[in-house]
A and B are shown apart, each in its own frame.
Chain A
Amino acid sequence: MSKLKIYLFAALIISSFSFVNAQAQTVHTVAGHVLNKDTSKPLPYVNIMIKDAGLGTTSDDQGYFFIEDLTSGIHELQLSYIGFEDQTETFTLPLLLPLEFKMNPELIEMSTLVVTGTRTERFLKDVPVTTQVIKNEKLRETGGTDISQVLGHVTGIAVVENQFGTGIELSGFDANHVLVMVDGLKMIGRTNGQLDISQIPIEQIERIEIVKGAASALYGSEAMGGVVNIITTKGDSRLGLKVGSIMGSYGRLGGNMSLSGGILGWQSKISLNSRIYGGNTLNTGSLWENGSEYDKLNYGFQTSGNLSKNLTLDLQATQFLETQTTDLDVFEDITTNVRNSGRLELENTNQSMTLTLGLDYSDYDHVYERVVSSSGFVKSSDQTLEGLIRGELRALVERETHALMVGVGSELENTESDRIVGGEQTASLTHLFLQDEWSLTQKTSSTFGLRWDSHSIYGNYLSPKISFMFKPEMISRIRISFGQGFRAPTFKELFLDYTVEGIGYRIIGDPNLFPERSNNFNLDIERWHTQKYHGRLNFFYNRIENLIDYSFIGVEDNLSLWQTANIKEAITSGAEIDLTYFYSKRIEWTMGYAYLNTWDVDNESPINLKAKHKANTSLRIKLGSSASFNLSGQFIGDRYYGEESVSGTIESEEWIDSYMIWNSHFQTGLILGLNLNAGVKNLTDVYDPIWGPMPGREWYVGLNYNYENK
């Protein structure tokens, strides 16, 4: 096919290129070919515009394009393509030779499309709220065996790993104040307030978008400190197969497979991912295990296609199964988690409006069992079953200076647990939001958002946000935003009734709790050069009121009684600096530093376990055409820990020592589309069995195979 096309192309150029139209004016057809400057491979779907003539097209699968009906003389042609530098070329008709353009890949990808900040597709450089993106290539090239390792190196993010899984902290906010979404949908299944993000396999991630600062004006509850949106890979009409495997220390074993292709014109994908970890023990004096043994399995199916010219449908279904075992010598703690989710999204686009209807369903079944190791007897067990059904309709109207979005939605949430009053609770929520992006001038835009939540338990809630963006020059941005965020009390905080006999306490919820509220201010300055550097400076201030905590209320039947209450107030503020520098196309250096100030207003102390100073650096070197080496370091400063007494005062205080971790990763292409990668995590073997990091030095080696039908 390509050969035929080349002949045809050549024939066109040489023979039949100029015609005489009805007005007796000579018109020409211009033909061209667009290539990637680095690889000399053709670039499909490049946007080509000839502005003076008001004509445009896109390049085909092989990078070829034709534009007809051009008059003789000089024309200016503009090429634009995501991930490449915009290019402008002039040419004179008639042509003697076909045009060939070589586009320069952006080293700093500011034209990546992002969706989280505004719920519409925007280029990263044009999004009005502070957004950071970690792309799939970065995930792979830093050699992360799991998502936490990658996120831990992002400035301003702290990853916490404990018995509840892996959580993300942003701008000093705890993991339960950061909204975590997968493909724009809230993840359910928080254990003790924390979501285990490691449940999402790294191979299924297309990119991660991180929006800092309150985003409740768009997303409602939980989006107090910010939003982490994990965008998964989508199906493709071309046949593709990806197979990968990994093995490493502590019995780490993994395998993944994803098959994509067109089914009756629908772009589809199935994926399968399995991960096994043998667990680790750092404290030899105790048989208590620090890291649980686990077995995780993910399945997924996704397809999308056109129902009619303007109507597209996207369907997605995933399942996650997990067993975690912690060896406690006498006992074994076994946790089983099952997550099912399905979604349907219909999008109708016409000239005046884009309408999107989303329906989704998810459930999360969490079972915890304490089993006597010697006999297999189940000493205690506890199950939590959560379900969420949601529907939302959004309309986007884009005019010259305004992009107005209105959304309305409803959701039904249900929790079953022995630990909550009545064993089961249900709540409904209706929300309405609007957002207006207004281009005030060429260089200034403002975005205003407002969301109203009406909840069957905690009532009505209003969240506003306003932000401004200035473009002093093409390559710099200043963003200022002020917003309010909130976090609704969870079912467990409202209705908990849980007794721990062994330690002698009982915790109860309070059905009259109201949401926690935060006021957030954010200032962000960035400047870049697509072939050289990117720098970002961020300042933030958050004041959080009505924080929910446990309050001691007395003793009953020899059990100390605690109840949830809106009692705390906290302040977080800080500054972050991020720098990426390309020494050459092959050598990339990054560094980041985050300063964080936290203050617990009631205890007049810093907030527990927040590092005041955090820094990261990485060096990525491309060796040859398919090999690369990456060395990255992460510094976590001293962390404060204050133990509270029953009366709520600080009883004892300590500072946990700072530490620095270095990771290395190497990958290289082999024959037959195979790729080898290997690395050592935590090179200097730093660990702390109580406060982390854990589990010390680890190695891994993996092999991947990638087939894509061109």
Chain B
Amino acid sequence: MLKKTLVAAMAVFLMFGCESTDDEDVTEAYNFVTENVKTGPTVYFSFADNAGDTVDTGEWDIAFATFSFSVPINDSTMMTISNPYLMGALNLGVARVDAASLDDVIDVPGSFSTGVYTTIEEVDNWYTTTDAHIVQPLDYVYVVNTDDGKYPAFEVTNYYDDEGNSGVYTIAWKYLSE
């Protein structure tokens, strides 16, 4: 009996031990909330600064925006529709990982796709709209290969502010170690 208890206690100790070693590798997770990009300008975000700017200085990784377009209602009239739009910077490497939460992503993916920012299709498809016309993030985490050689991973957690207005992005992100 005593022997069994000791073994169990050791097992528990070992488990905790493993976890604490992992903890040292996992970097801190951050949140970033944009201003309303539907009513205001596009927000250009840099992971290195964990901050956004409304001016395109060229020093950014991803940009949060809405994309408006007009559709013909009938032969003579057009109507404007706004959709969320998330862009990666020029030649930014992006990998999409199927994961429900940022916590589930630990390793850097093997390959990244790059392209002119408007064509990184993976990023632009981060959401779906429900029957009630609510923008809802899909279960994707994006891993980005930035210019400084780091691998931030991020997920869009919300597209609405506390008052339910659309156009306000919230992302959760962290650096992955190689």
A residues within 8 Å of B by Cβ? Answer: 285-288, 328-331, 333, 370-372, 374-375, 377, 379-380, 502-504, 552, 554-555, 558-560, 646-647
Contact = CB atoms under 8 A, between A and B. Distances in A.
B136 A287 contact: yes
Interface string B121-138: 000000010111111101
Interface string B115-153: 000000000000010111111101000000000000000
Given A555-B77, A560-B79, A372 B130 contact: no
Contacts of B81: 504
B136 A288 contact: yes
B133 to A, nearest CB: 5
Interface of B: 73-74, 77, 79-81, 128, 130-136, 138, 158-160, 162-166
29 contacts: A286-B128, A287-B130, A287-B136, A288-B130, A288-B136, A328-B130, A330-B134, A330-B135, A330-B158, A330-B159, A331-B132, A331-B164, A372-B162, A372-B163, A374-B162, A377-B164, A379-B165, A380-B164, A502-B133, A502-B166, A503-B133, A504-B79, A504-B80, A504-B81, A554-B74, A554-B77, A558-B79, A558-B80, A560-B79
A559 B138 CA distance: 29
A372 B166 CA distance: 11
B136 A330 contact: yes
Contacts of A380: 164
Given A330-B135, A333-B132, 12 more contacts: A286-B128, A287-B130, A328-B130, A329-B136, A330-B164, A371-B164, A552-B73, A555-B74, A555-B79, A558-B80, A559-B79, A560-B73
Contacts, number: 70
A560 B79 CA distance: 8
Contact of A379 (B128, B131, B135, B163): B163
Nearest to B137: A329
Nearest to B158: A330
Given A375-B162, A379-B163, A288 B77 contact: no
| Interface SS of chain B | loop
B10 to A, nearest CB: 40
Contacts of B136: 286-288, 328-330
B134 A329 contact: yes
A558 B162 CA distance: 27
* B80, B130, B131, B133 interface centre (most CB from chain A within 10 Å): B130
A328 B132 contact: yes
Contacts of A286: 128, 130, 136
A475 B138 CA distance: 64
B74 A647 contact: yes
* A371, A374, A552, A560 interface centre (most CB from chain B within 10 Å): A374
A554 B162 CA distance: 34
Closest 6 CB pairs of A and B: A379-B164, A375-B162, A555-B77, A288-B130, A372-B164, A377-B163
Contacts of A330: 134-136, 158-160, 164
A551 to B, nearest CB: 13
* A285, A371, A380, A558 interface centre (most CB from chain B within 10 Å): A558
Contacts of A329: 130, 134, 136
Nearest to B72: A646
Contacts of A555: 73-74, 77, 79
Nearest to B159: A330
A288 B131 contact: yes
B77 A328 contact: no
A288 B163 contact: no
